[in-house]
Structure 1
């Protein structure tokens, strides 16, 4: 008598572990690396065009936007990064990263470069200088489990969001009520604040899920 083999149970498929680069020229790189690791990504440091070419997505950290833009030119990363964004590479920028991803930047140096990753106009240092840093609870579109504590440090805001740009968060009250501080266009996300410093990893989780889907 022939006995049919017993089918092996199908194991639940583990979520993919995408390779997410962190631009490591200047700024709070290590905080993003730790957040990405916790969210199931494989973070790698990106300082060269060859390293950029090998990643599925890129995080542009907070720091000094004009310094980072100058270093992009020094390390021959500016045009390769613009090209990858045009090709649809997912990207996430926080604070200085938001400035770099903009199509237009106000109150910056005339020789500063930006990446045209999101159709938006961003005002640099819009909330004031370092002494004007503050925290506030934000409702963030698409994130569950209540508001997000947002830390603003010499932060920008978005003065114009293009027709294809989704506004994810605005300042809820006070003198800056209604200012746009988080946006998304396609596979590119930007926040004026620093979600990597609070321990609330929902923005990073959302981004890693976006990378997997892309």
Structure 2
């Protein structure tokens, strides 16, 4: 089983390290032909406008859309969530091209500037039910987007309650926003699991990939039970994430 990581910009190195810790063949994707033979794809966090421009320059959008239409699982984190959304607000002047396919409305940089980045213990019962461990996960929000609404076929996996004054722009009256969803073959998180040592989100996604390889319709989060043979029996056996000093992600000024 080979899983690709869109490697145009952003935290692709961290995702690749997580996949390799789980014994999965991780492939950097920069050209359309590199999608051939992959069983799943991760679109990492980074600067979403820059990623879109590079994807357009490399003529990736048609191939990425076809990959999604084929039913192969795609997981978008942070900027990757923006990429997958059908509708986006708060984008730069002139807009940006979206991959689409995920029936949701997302606000780019909902939580504010880089200085407003934060970490929190986020309740995710569906993740704990499938992968075991704590009922919360450590969620790292870096200039993060948020989902305002979803279509009827989208499963909401996690929501974040807003503190007074935390919401911005048109979300100012909201008491909570959606930060993790799943729709058929698409998974999206507004935060960065790849920046923690908790590999359960990657394991969760790999089960979607495993089910897709077997030709089965990807079920809702509560129905994923298959375990890829190459995963360790306990994710607690996996060590902490390495620190990628060469990564430029944290110096970004825009999401």
- On whether the aligned pair clears a TM of 0.5, the verdict is yes
Distance, in Å, in 2 between the alignment partners of 1:74 and 1:33 is: 23
- The 2-side partners of 1:112 and 1:88 are apart by 24
Indicate the residue corresponding to 1:129 in structure 2: 113
Match of 1:202 among 178, 191, 200: 200
Residues 130-139 or 169-178, more deviating: 169-178
Distance in 1, Cα, partners of 2:85 & 2:18:
24
State the alpha-carbon separation in 1 of the partners of residues 204 and 61 from structure 2. 26
1:80-107 Cα distance to aligned partner (Å, 9 max, x none): 1011111212011100000000001101
SS in 2 for 1:171: strand
d(CA) in 1 for partners of 2:201, 2:163 = 24
Q: TM-score, normalised by structure 1?
A: 0.89
Structure 2: distance between partners of 1:26 and 1:83: 21
* Divergent runs of 4+, >3 A: none
Q: How does 1:144-163 map to 2 (within 5 A)?
A: 144=128, 145-146=133-134, 147-163=136-152
Equivalent residue number for residue 160 of structure 2: 171
**Residue number in structure 2 paired with 1:138:** 122
- Counterpart position of 2:29: 46
Inter-partner Cα distance in structure 2 for 1:39 and 1:184: 22
Which ranges in structure 1 are unaligned for 5 or more consecutive residues? 1-17
Q: Which residue does the alignment assign to 1:88?
A: 71
Match of 1:63 in 2: 46
Deviation at 1:209, TM superposition (A): 1.2
Deviation at 1:160, TM superposition (A): 1.3
Question: Structure 2 CA distance, aligned partners of 1:65 and 1:173?
Answer: 24
Which structure has the larger Rg? 1
User: How many residues end up aligned between the 2 structures?
Assistant: 197
TM-score by length of 2: 0.75
- For structure 2, the residue ranges without an aligned partner over 5 or more in a row are 168-174, 213-255
Structural RMSD (CA): 1.2
Are 1:138 and 1:172, in contact at CA under 8 Å, matched by a contact in 2? no
